[in-house]
Structure 1
C-alpha cells in the first residue's frame, strides 16, 4: 500500500515537472524577444527540472540519491536565475533590442551600451 502511494506521488510530481518544462519549451518557441525567452527558460525550466528531481527523491529508496537530488534542486534554484540575469544584462549591453511592443525600458540609463562603430575610423587603421 505504501509503495502505491509513493508511485502516485512520484507520477504526479513528474507530470507537474513535465508540464512546467513543456511550458518553458513553448515559451522559447513563441515569445517575441531574447529577454522574455530567457525568462521562460530560466523560471519554468528550473521549476520543471526541480520538481522532477523532487520526484526522484520521493521514488528513490537510497539516501545518497535523495541527498544528491535535493542538492541539485538547491543548485538549480541558486544558479539559474542569477545566470539568466547576467546573460540578459550582457545581451542588453551588447545591443540586443527589446521587443517593439515593450512598454518600458527599465535598463535605459543603467547599463551603458557600446557606441556604434565609426566606419571612417576603421578605414584609417
Structure 2
C-alpha cells in the first residue's frame, strides 16, 4: 500500500458513503426498537441492513481500489452474501412468527391456506 493521500473527491465520496451507511443502519436499529409488532419489527432491519451494507461496501471498494493497483472487487462478495441471505432469513423468521401467532390464536392473523382450501374431488380433477 502506498502512503500517498487520496484525491479530495474520493475522500468526500468515501466519507459520504460511510455516513449514509451508518445513518441507514441507525434508522434500522431505531425501527427495531420503536415498531410495535414482531412482523413490523423484522421488516425494518432486514431492508435497511442490506442498503446500509451496500453503502459501506461501496465505500470500501472505492477506498481499496484507489489505494492498490488492481480494483478491490472481492469486497463485493460481502454485499452479495448479504443480498442473498437477508431476504431468506427474513422469510424464515416471518414464517416462524406466523406459525407461533397461529398457535397462540392471536387476533388478526390470517389462517393457513392449507386448511382453507377444500380437498379436490374426482369431479374437480383435470381431464
Same fold (TM over 0.5): yes
1:26 aligns with 2:30: yes
Pair 1:110-2:110 in alignment: no
Runs of 4+ in 1 over 4 A off after TM superposition: none
Cα 1:66–1:2 change in 2 (3 A) is: same
- 1:42-95 CA-to-partner distances (Å, cap 9, x unmatched) read 001121122111111111134788223211111111110111111111111122
Distance 1:80 1:89 in 2: 14
Equivalenced residue count is 107
Ranges in structure 2 where 5+ consecutive residues have no aligned partner: 116-127
CA 1:64/1:71 → structure 2, altered by over 3 Å: closer, same or farther?
farther
Gaps of 5+ in 1: 113-125
User: Is 2:94 the counterpart of 1:91?
Assistant: no
The TM-score, its normalising length taken from structure 1, stands at 0.72
TM-score (norm 2): 0.71
SS in 2 for 1:108: coil
Please tell me whether Structure 1 or Structure 2 has the larger radius of gyration of its CA atoms.
Answer: 2
Give runs of aligned pairs for residues 1-125 of structure 1, distance below 5 A: 3-60=7-64, 61-62=67-68, 66-95=72-101, 105=109, 107-110=110-113
How far apart, CA to CA, are the structure 2 residues paired with 1:30 and 1:39?
Answer: 12
The answer on whether the counterparts of 1:16 and 1:51 sit within 8 Å (CA) in structure 2 is yes
